[in-house]
Chain A
Amino acid sequence: MSDRASTTATTKPVSSKWGLLWLTLRAQRRNLIIGTLIGLLWTIGKVASPLLIRLGIDRGIREDDRLWLWAGLIAAAGLVAGTFTAFRRFYAFREARWTETRLRERLFSHIMSLHIGYHDRAQTGQLMSRSSSDLNSIQMFVVMIPITLSNMAMIASVVVILFVTDWFLALLALISLPLIQVLGARFSSAIHPAMLSVQAEQAELATVVEESVGGVRVIKGFGAERVQSAKLELAADDIRRESIAAARIRAVYLPAMELLPQVGLVAVLWFGGNRVIDGDLTLGGLVQFNVFVALLVTPLRMIGMTIAFAQRAAAALQRINEVLDVDSQVRDPDRPTTLPTGKGDRPTDGFGAVSFRDVTFGYEAPDAADAGPVLAGFTLDMAPGESVAIVGATGSGKSTVARLLVRFYDVHAGSVSIDGVDIRELSLHDLRRAVGIVFEDTLLFHDTVRANIAFADPEADGATIERAARLAGAHDFVMGLPDAYDTMLGERGFSLSGGQRQRIAIARAILADPRILVLDDATSAVDPSKEHEIRSAMSTVMDGRTTIVIAHRPGTIALADTVVLLDGGRVVASGPHDRLLASEPRYRDVLAAMESPSGADAADDVIGAVGVVAGD
């Protein structure tokens, strides 16, 4: 764990990892102190019962003196111990969950605010495990804090009582007990890697299953079932081997941990028995030793656990800090300006002039390899209400233009401005409300159609949502869904076709009512016969609005007034489609690369027109 922490360098010192926990726990100190105090009351009940058992045996039974009083007092001690162990547990677990809850919220809000460049490199799964399994490790440690404190109080009082009663016998009885704790800590650190390798082998098996299910057509096609079965059997054998190795570790430690207190008890029986015969110790005193030793076993074992949990929590905190320590590279300016308003006062009203001036930008490469600039000296001026299609070969930086306009990234050189204001002088909120993007890969949230459309303005009323849906050409199919606008979408909801998703995304942009619209057209995911519907939805939205169309297909180019050809990170030609087609060989090349799939789609449209109905 520690080597993993050291490979990913952090900006802040390691010591801050406990600082984070400390700050979080300080806010909960009242309840944690209550929990610990309750734990001390539990200790009293717990420690009292063996003492009362001794009195019960010596006085009650042997001397026949008030037997039922002692029995009643033992029961009372049981009531105290039972009541307070319950409350101790409640406080400990509840506070631990509260710590977890608040850290998770902090983490989430931080992740949401981080610049997109961070998200490009971060893996979703990694961030997920920060907020789930790492927080769980911390939670498990926090549980142990009040419990361990009262356990230590109990251990201390028992040790004192036993030494006062008979120091020699106490030494014999207790000498083996610290070993339980040592063994417990060793066991934790030995079993942890063993469990990790079991998990690793399980992941290995999951991979085989995943690729066998995903690649079932290949496997069936070539009759490669046996190859995969052999791989799986290997993985299953590995799991078995690692699990049995883990069992061997358990077999070494767990019985030994059970054995140790017995060693003390045997010694107590021999030496203690002789002392009773000699009259140096009462029979009740002997029994009291037995009961106390049995009482110490669990708390001692738990201290070992606490140490192991603390180590895991430290590693988890370290990893969480690595995320929290990242500052967003794209931030609000200290004193944001506002956009000039034309029609009204809201930031979404306005002219929508866009200007890219000599923009240079390149993505940060994952392993510091050669990442040349994607845009170099890119200049583009758009008048309010103008629409421009950006055309270029794959990797020419078309989509980057859109990402720079909403400050997903900041330009390395040059500037981007809207209505004469440099976008870095605007608050991110204003900027992003002024620009609406329909992304290349349409992401719908697990929520209703309504909420997905009203994403930019959750307060929007039904009429506004329906209007946006109608403009995007989505209303009709939405009405056909099981619960119309209340149908749940997303991964676990109703699955829409690519074209339908696209139209929901367009409706989302319409509802945001931005000055400037960016359509990153990814109609490749769309059933060809539906493409023209989307195109018509797009043209409705574009009407009278400054629009940048990132064109991946010839069909969408036609939507724009002007075409801009991007090559080598700069604009190499611009003008109406027809003129470029006539004058620019490079433009023809790019279009030709787009040809093949779109040609087929055009043909499908024609088939539809001559009366063949598509089967879906």
Chain B
Amino acid sequence: MFRVGGVADDDKLDKDQTRAVLRRAIRMAAPFRRTILAALGFVLLSTLGLLLGPVIVGYGIDNGIVANDRTVLRNAVLAYVVVVVIGYLAARQQYIFVNRAGEGFLQSLRVRTFDHIQKQSLGFFDRYQSGVLISRMTADIESMGELVQWGLLQLIAAVFLIVIALGLMLAMSWQLTIGALLVMPVIIIGSRKFQRDSNEAYLEVRERVGQNLSELQEGISGVRVIQAYAQEGQQTRQFVSSNRSLYRSHVRSIRVSTWYFGLVEAMGIFATAITIGVGGWLVGMDAIEIGTVVAFVLLLSQLFEPVQQLSQLYNTVQSSAAALDKLFTILDTQPEVEGGPLDLPERGELVVDGIGFAYPNTEASVLRDVTITVGDGERLALVGPTGAGKSTLAKLMARLYDPTVGAISFGGVDLRDATLDSLRQRVVVVPQEGFLFGGSIADNVRIAKAGATDDELREALDAIGALDRFEEFEDGIHTEVRERGSRLSAGERQLVSLARAALVDPAVLVLDEATSSLDPGTELIVEAALEKLMTGRTTIVVAHRLSTIRTADRIAVIDAGELAELGTHDELVAQGGRYAALSSAWQQSLPT
């Protein structure tokens, strides 16, 4: 009773959209239809159990008590017991079945949405902020869980209850039914108004809560700056003012519900008053028996709660539909990069042929007319200023994106025609920072090749000279890396990242060299590991360091999206162009 409706989002859908979304949800729920049917059956039974009680009491009064017939009274009591027991058993089952259907639906929704997100290419992840994707998978689905666990059950039960109660009342006396329901229009109009106002008030509260939380977070995470500038007082004053406006919007929302709850309470008793008055009058005219009046009084107390619930549930259904709609938008997004039918050869040249590239939904092209042939086993360094497009070129070479024009092929096969599996076996990208997942070191290396044995993992770690370092840990390679790999140093995280590549044993390696430096000791180990990894493989390296560039066979200078220079170090120095200038600047900046 203290739950504010589970409104999860301000962007509400209109009626037609809501209906369309719900229809699609119903189609998705088709695999659970037997569970849903069973759940409906149990809800029906338990509702009947609840409502037949007053009718039996009414019957017992008229035909047993008033008629002085103790047998009828006994039979009525027995019937009451049977009804109560059946109602109880059905109610137990209804919770379980409703939940089983609902949670099953949510589980499949989670898995489907996630699988679909995983299928998307990197462009998708550039477009969606990570926070948005995470909240789709968590908050949005959880808000639907609210609907599934409570809302759906209440909704169905309320509808059944109202329909059945009305039917029973009409069957007993249509005149009294009309009389008792005179208050209904007031309740319905009041409920609609309350539903509108409370939704508005709730959204306002929600927004203020959000503001308040972010002020809070900013205060806590900015405490060093705040204290350094002696602004604690000012910040507290600011926080108090945001906190007070949160309080005021709470009070506004309390006010909205105040009159409504009063109205409902008063109307409930009014209905009883009318029942006694009209019922008594009808009894006086011999139109009905007194037991019917009693049955009405008892039934009415059951009827008001569901009517009240229905108005609140409307909000929950609407916001769940909004959340579902957002999930469907994701489910409707087609992946941009999909695999072809061919297997890539084991080795070959990597040919970049006249490619151009622009990120989706942008005008400016990042790369224009780049053509490079990288020989089997060659080491190519990509050099250029920030933003020139060298990292993008590297990503295209691994088909993380597809070029807008031109083609990239390996061993004569266009990357777009290759299966994604074979592509990832031949071409591996090692990102700048070693990103670690939860789990052990072994789990993290195994990301590269599901099902790899511990021996294979050790081999891969050994191949880059990192095995000894990790075997020294308390659980060896099975040591947990903790959240985001915090157990490991930055250098060790990179070693794990390199071991993944070694495990795949690819023909082509694409490296984005880290710009931030590690401590000198680890730096050497990582460099040695990298050297071991690159040996015998075609390597494309986005280079930031002279030492790396020096070991490359050829150097490509990328500038403003174009290939400016291409050749060996000596050739380019002799050419006296940009690379020559860069190289000499480098020499001079070294400390003497």
Contact = CB atoms under 8 A, between A and B. Distances in A.
A105 B497 CA distance: 46
Contact of B107 (A236, A259, A603, A605): A236
A140 B270 CA distance: 31
A120 B583 CA distance: 43
Interface in B330-379: 366
A101 B223 contact: no
B405 interface: no
Contact of A202 (B50, B138, B221): B138
Interface in A54-70: 56-57, 60-62, 64, 67-68, 70
Contacts of A98: 247
B219 A108 contact: yes
Given A127-B220, A239-B107, A81 B269 contact: yes
Contacts of A116: 223-224, 227
B6 interface: no
A82 B76 contact: no
B interface: dominant SS:
helix
Contacts of B420: 223
Interface residues on A, range: 35 or more
B445 to A, nearest CB: 10
A608 B65 contact: no
Contact of A269 (B76, B424, B591): B76
Given A209-B137, A221-B424, A291 B301 contact: yes
A511 to B, nearest CB: 10
Contacts of A445: 218, 222
A491 B222 CA distance: 12
Identify which of A140, A229, A243 gathers the most chain B CB atoms within 10 Å of its CB. Answer: A243
Contacts of B149: 243, 247
Interface string A401-437: 0000010100000000000000000001100110111
Contacts of B221: 124, 443
Contact of A439 (B114, B224, B266, B504): B224
Contact of A266 (B84, B234, B590): B84
B317 to A, nearest CB: 20
Nearest to A108: B239
A519 to B, nearest CB: 13
B448 A615 contact: no
A517 to B, nearest CB: 12
A64 B87 CA distance: 37
A244 B280 contact: no
B254 A97 contact: yes
A215 B277 CA distance: 71
Given A74-B269, A223-B421, A599 B546 contact: yes
Given A258-B88, A394-B519, A74 B273 contact: yes
Given A61-B293, A616-B387, A77 B269 contact: yes
A371 interface: no
A70 B276 contact: yes
Interface stretch (A2-10, A17-25, A86-94, A561-569): A86-94
A613 interface: yes
A interface: dominant SS:
helix
Interface string A24-45: 0000000000000000000001
A490 interface: yes
Given A222-B428, A240-B103, A615-B388, A57 B134 contact: no
B566 interface: no
A216 B125 contact: yes
A240 to B, nearest CB: 4
Interface in B47-95: 50, 53, 57, 60-61, 64-66, 68, 70, 73-74, 76-77, 80-81, 84, 87-88, 91-93, 95
Given A89-B254, A228-B118, A269-B80, A78 B545 contact: no
A68 B546 CA distance: 101
Nearest to B244: A101
A429 B230 contact: yes
B31 interface: no
B279 interface: yes
Given A597-B517, A597-B544, A236 B581 contact: no
Contacts of B581: 606-607, 609-610
A408 B227 contact: yes
B111 interface: yes
B99 interface: yes
Nearest to B278: A71
A593 B590 CA distance: 11
B290 interface: yes
Contacts of A79: 266
A198 B53 CA distance: 36
Interface in A524-560: 524, 527-529, 554
B271 to A, nearest CB: 9
A408 B240 CA distance: 25
Interface in B249-277: 250-251, 254-255, 257-259, 261-270, 272-274, 276-277
Contacts of B134: 206, 209-210, 213
Given A78-B265, A221-B400, A269-B77, A287 B96 contact: no
Interface in A315-371: none
A90 B420 CA distance: 62
A111 B430 CA distance: 42
B516 to A, nearest CB: 6
A86 B589 contact: no
Interface stretch (B16-24, B308-316, B431-439): B431-439
B257 A89 contact: yes
A602 B133 contact: no
A602 B118 contact: no
B73 A270 contact: yes
B448 A224 contact: yes
A53 interface: yes
A57 B290 contact: yes
Nearest to B483: A207
Contacts of B520: 593
B2 A143 contact: yes
B532 to A, nearest CB: 19
A240 B262 CA distance: 39
A581 B133 CA distance: 52
B118 to A, nearest CB: 4
Given A105-B243, A205-B110, A616-B386, A599 B92 contact: no
Given A60-B277, A255-B92, 6 more contacts: A56-B277, A229-B118, A247-B103, A283-B290, A445-B218, A596-B547
23 contacts: A53-B276, A57-B276, A67-B280, A71-B273, A97-B247, A97-B254, A112-B226, A209-B134, A210-B134, A212-B117, A216-B122, A218-B435, A224-B448, A236-B114, A248-B95, A273-B65, A408-B228, A428-B227, A458-B234, A508-B229, A606-B582, A607-B384, A610-B581
